Amino acid sequence: MIIRSMSANFGVLSNVSLDLEPGLNILQAPNESGKSTWCALLRVMLYGPETLRGSRAGRLPDRERYAPWDGTPMWGRMDLTWQGKDITLRRSGANGPMRDFSAVYTGTGEPVSALHAADTGEQLTGLPEEVFRRTAFIGPAGLAVGQGQELEKWLAATVSSGEEGISYSEAAARLKGWQRQYRYRNQGLIPETENELRELRAQCSEAESLRAELDELSARERELMNDYTELAGRAGLPAGEQRKLRLQQELLEMEGEILRRESEAETLRASLRRDPLWDTEPDEAFLAAAEEDRRRAAKLKSRLSRRTGTPSYRLLLPALGVLLGLAAIWSLWLLIPALLCLGAAAGLWISGCRSAAAVRRTERELDGLLRRYGADTPREIRSHAENYAELWREMTSLQAAAEELRTRTRQLEVDGKLPAAEGEGSRELTQAGEELRALLARRARVQDRLEAMGTEEETGRRIAEKENRLRELERRAAALELAAEELAAADEEMHSLIAPGISRRTESFFRQLTGERYGELALDQKLQASVQRAGDALPHAESFLSRGTRDQLYLALRLALCSMTPVGAEPCPIILDDALISFDDERLGLAIDCLSELAAERQILLFTCQGRELRALRSKKSGA
């Protein structure tokens, strides 16, 4: 591609033009004359303007940075030659700054079908925008390359597979994100599952301890009851007091039974509370109402199942009406049948809308009936209601039994109350009774805690499920880790293919730019260089070089990347904006020699605020 001219109303450029030639163009102008603006215009004409979101950190978007200073609309034009054809690109701002795009063959209104607003730059240069910025678009603050995802993809496509779209860093970042979902420090699916498994195992261990404690409490209860009976017999009380002691013993037994039945009733209540029918008392009319709801749900389901798709005549009638209407153009007597068909179709359509509304009402009513009973089918309504009623009766029976026992207990407390007794035997008897009551209360609490934990089988099933899930998560995490290792190995292999070619090209350009002062050069995976000066024993990283030498190294790397033109693509222009400002006079001359040689293959635009570049070029020509 060769750019022949550019013109624009863009930033400081107010309706001005710039004519260019093939080969090396050195464009000298003072500061604030628009050199960097011409470079930005070239980028915008090729790739479109940066949006607010797409603009780089610390920079305004193009629509603000390059808004014309005179307040008139922004526009740009570029005339170029591509694939032997003269083409004119235009961008203007009717629908947003530089958003309106056209590409036509110069001197005609015929559009270039291969060029579109979104991909013109990539079609013309063969480079995605990010790669263009990192290779052929060179400024004094942007000589350093740095590897990005798009440049990785482009290098992989150019050097090896030919399939752009492969980026190690992009794939590695995605794999790392997936790995973090499974395990990241103390977060992720695996730590969460491990914590849940630990809690279940701790619960299982607690349940075993509680069951053992419950067995001990039951055994201790029997011992205390026997001791209480024995103490009552040894107390030497009269016959009337002996009867009261027997009543007290019965009272203790009843209190234990009350606690057991209340615990069972509370367990049933907790189960019923999760039922959709909770708070509905299953009286005599309950099952009759459930049976009626079952019949109603069965009818509704039957009504829905009989409904089929749209009858074919509903589709045929309007089609027949349209055909008859068209035929009426030649035979007017067909007009009446056509109107009748269309009228019938309209009536059927209205009827169909009403039928659809009725179906929706039927579906809502059926869904409401099923959800009320927590059933999936009408048949389950009756059985669910019966189960609910059975559990309710069992719960109320336990509550009633507990209340009856409590009433009897209150009576026994009156009948069996012992008078304040004297003597060691009476005090021992009182202490045994208090210990027995405390033991019964403790056993009831342990029983409640066990029932709240669920059955041993249920806990074991949940532990097995969590163990299976943990194994599956660890298997997936191991697969991701293996994929990351394989990806890193593949990237290393890819780098072993790419790096030598880039290193050789960069080394050749760097030798030329430094007058053969530096010899060997090596690049790592991030395109960071180490160089060895002629006569030195060891190489040095680029950070040890002076700024001018670093800029020469970066320029050599960029020129090496630009020389790797994809197969079938035309060499794209190289744009330099004051890129040689840190070069001394000797190396500036060497750089001009290098660029002049490259200009035999591609167009080069060198914008500068100094006269050194032009003098070096004239000196080269006069010397030649």
Element (H, E) at 608: strand 604-608
Q: How confident is the model at residue 106 (pLDDT cuts 50, 70, 90)?
A: very high
Residue 32 lies in a domain: yes
- Give 207 or 240, the one with higher predicted confidence: 207
Question: Which residues, in sequence order, are CB contacts of 580 under 8 Å at separation 6+?
Answer: 551, 555, 588, 591, 606, 608, 613
| Closest to 506 in 3D by CA, of 475, 534, 535, 527 | 527
For the stretch 339-377, pLDDT in tens is: 666 566 666 566 666 677 777 888 888 888 888 888 888
Residue 266 lies in a domain: no
What was the pLDDT predicted at 368? 83
CATH number of the domain that residue 94 is part of: 3.40.50.300
| Closest to 570 in 3D by CA, of 17, 22, 7 | 22
For the stretch 140-171, pLDDT in tens is: 655 555 555 444 444 544 444 444 444 556 66
| Closest to 494 in 3D by CA, of 175, 154, 174, 177 | 154
Element (H, E) at 80: strand 75-82
For residue 253 the two structure tokens come to 């037994």
Residue 36 lies in a domain: yes
* Domain stops at, among 388, 405, 435: 388
Average pLDDT, the chain: 75
Residue 202 lies in a domain: no
DSSP 8-state class, residue 146: -
Element (H, E) at 100: strand 100-105
Strand partners, 187: 184
Count of domains observed in the chain: 2
Query: In degrees, to the nearest 5, what angle opens at C-alpha 38 toward C-alphas 602 and 609?
Result: 90
Q: Which whole-number Å values give the CA distances from 109 to 5, 76, 100, 270, 333, in the listed order?
A: 19, 17, 16, 81, 53
What was the pLDDT predicted at 305? 74
For the stretch 501-544, pLDDT in tens is: 777 888 888 888 888 888 788 777 667 777 877 777 777 787 78
* Domain stops at, among 388, 413, 433: 388
pLDDT-wise least confident of 261-275, 301-315, 544-558: 301-315
Cβ atoms of 510 and 521 closer than 8 Å: yes
Question: Which residues, in sequence order, are CB contacts of 386 under 8 Å at separation 6+?
Answer: 287, 290
Residue 227 lies in a domain: no
Question: 501-533 burial by CB neighbour count: b if 16+ within 10 A, else e?
Answer: ebbebbbbbbbbbbeeebbebebebebbbbbeb
For the stretch 543-568, pLDDT in tens is: 788 888 888 888 888 888 887 765 55
Give the residue numbers spanning the domain of 2: 1-126+570-584+595-603
Adjacency order of strands within the sheet including 137-138: 24-28, 604-608, 574-577, 137-138
* Domain stops at, among 388, 420, 436: 388
Residue 549 lies in a domain: no
Residue 333 lies in a domain: yes
DSSP calls for 408-440: HHHHHHHHTPPPP--SHHHHHHHHHHHHHHHHH
Residue 241 lies in a domain: no
Q: Which whole-number Å values give the CA distances from 406 to 251, 445, 448, in the listed order?
A: 10, 18, 19
